[in-house]
Amino acid sequence: MVQYKRFTKFGFVVVSSFLFVACTTSKYAATEKIYKDKAKAFSRVIATVPPPGQEIMGLDPTMQSWVGAVNFGIRKPNFVILHHTAQSSTSQTINTFLVKGKAEVSAHYIVGKDGAVVQMVNDYLRANHAGIGKWGNNSDLNSSSIGIELDNNGVDQAFTDVQIKSLLTLLEVLKKRYNIPAANFIGHSDIAPGRKVDPLNFPWKVLAKKGFGLWYDDVLNLPPDNFDSALALKAIGYDTRNLPAAIGAFKLHFVQTDVSRELTPADQLILYNLYTKYL
């Protein structure tokens, strides 16, 4: 009788655990199926030889052939772009990324205020987080970056300590996994001057001290008389076709206390210092 009671109790725990797992996973069962179906479709495209849709139009078919090389790999990301969600919770952002429609936005990771991290897209796949933007000569950041959304409304919330701690852990893993240069950890506002401001009021200096992004020195030297601020911004990576917007994006990242679209003498010192680091 005692053994029966013990077995019953154990069985209850097992069944309860199973039900808990089932309940926590079934909530997104429909969208998980969409993810898997799309991933399978992409895998079929990659596995098909010759690659479908990659014919050289205008060239005689007899002059085209396919021979599969043996030395190749999966494309790897070279940038990390940080965002704030501009929404009220991680769950709201998850639901936004599960909606198919006109926007069809997504990111690879979401870092919650409580430090919990949700991955939503495989690192090797292209997420729709960067939009129209440019950094240096790269005009398709979606194809070369990992997007990380930080749960923050972008209005009156500070980034929490536990959130930054989890973010730093994630960035350390990504940096080592893909050998991403320190200078290539940037914000959405950096690649989309005048269009985006996120992540707003973000502690970039804290990240830079850990090796994620660059920051200026405590002691700054005067730039030479012939210092070209527009050229310096472009060398760092900013799209200077709209110079005031580029200045504003630079100050959102590196100044923050003043985000006007004009460079003050103090801003010039910061810009010159960073310019030498990015060269």
Residue positions annotated with a catalytic role: 149
Spell out the SS3 assignment of the chain. CHHHHHHHHHHHHHHHHHHHHHHHHHCCHHHHHHHHHHHHHHHHHHHCCCCCCCCCCCCCHHHCCCCCCCCCCCCCCCEEEEEECCCCCHHHHHHHHCCCCCCCCCCCEEECCCCCEEECCCCCCCCCCCCCCCECCECCHHHCEEEEEECCCCCCCCCCHHHHHHHHHHHHHHHHHHCCCHHHEEEHHHHCCCCCCCCCCCCHHHHHHCCCCCCCCCCCCCCCCCCCHHHHHHHHCCCCCCHHHHHHHHHHHHCCCCCCCCCCHHHHHHHHHHHHHHC
Q: Is 166 in contact with 113 (CB distance < 8 Å)?
A: no
